[in-house]
Amino acid sequence: MSIDANQIHFLTKKALKGDLESAKTIINFLMSLDMREAIVVAYLIAYQIIMNIYMNLGEECKKCGGICCKFGSPIELTEFDLSEIIAEGISLSGIMNESNKYLIPRPCPFQDGWRCRIHENKPYACLSYPFAVEDIQKDVIVSWNSSEPPKPFIPQFCVAGQKTWDYIKFLIESFKKEHGKVPTPLELLEFANSSSKS
Ligand code: SF4
Ligand code: SF4
């Protein structure tokens, strides 16, 4: 399958918003590369989709107060993030334009208390936090020993990420009991999906 970087990001964003067909395409593509790093990224994307779609984390993010939206370097928007924001009629006031790059500063102008005012249209980078942010996970990506699904790095303050990882560990152990093997990223995601319906 031939797929360019922009398509990868576009499909990944759709997957992170809960489109399971896009999730399958992107995970199958990563697995087809047959590279250790790509397999770790496939797991991390599966973890992030589980966080975004199958977890109820309002209380945790409220308790944290939205630290991920307050601190850190500016968030770069992809072309499709920007198109989505414009199509929704969201004001670009507060978004910086530097050398043809659109950046959301932090503290983020779209933050309202601990909530995101553009939740339905939040950028790719925000949908990826914390499991699918490659900068955060770079040590995990290079140091994985392939016997078990990778243990992600989760910042101490991110109680929502910690709660999600506890659930993912439970899913992995349940899958192993049922199937006698470690789940692949896609099997983990499908297991999370079927568990959410039972
Ligand atoms: S995702 Fe993590 S860091 Fe961000 S608001 Fe929720 S708990 Fe806080
Ligand atoms: S766009 Fe929303 S999720 Fe992203 S940093 Fe701003 S408030 Fe947070």
Express each pLDDT in 138-175 by its tens digit: 999 999 988 899 999 999 999 999 999 999 999 999 99
Phi and psi angles of residue 98, each rounded to the nearest 5 degrees, phi first = -125, 120
The number of the ligand nearest the C-alpha atom of 122 reads 2
**What residues line ligand 2, using a CB cutoff of 6 Å?**
69, 75, 104, 108, 110-111, 116, 118, 122-123, 126
pLDDT for 145 equals 85
Residue 183's SS3 state is: coil
Shortest-distance Cα residue to atom 5 of ligand 1: 66
Structural domain boundaries of the chain?
A: 5-70+130-197
User: What pLDDT is stored for residue 3 in this prediction?
Assistant: 72
DSSP, res 50? I
**Residue whose entry in the numeric block shows the structure tokens 């950046």:** 103
Is residue 158 lining ligand 1, measured as CB closer than 6 Å? yes
Residue 28 CA from chain centroid, whole number:
17
Task: State the Cα–Cα distance between residues 106 and 80, nearest whole angstrom.
Answer: 20
> Pairing relation of β-strands 101-104 and 96-98?
antiparallel
Radius of gyration of the chain (CA): 17
b/e sequence 176-191, b meaning 16+ C-beta within 10 Å: eeeeeeebbbbbbbbb
CA of 48 to the centre of ligand 1 (A): 13
Q: How many residues does the chain have?
A: 198
8-58 pLDDT, tens digit per residue, is: 889 999 999 999 999 999 999 999 999 999 999 999 999 999 999 999 999
- pLDDT tens digits, 73-96: 999 999 999 999 999 999 999 999
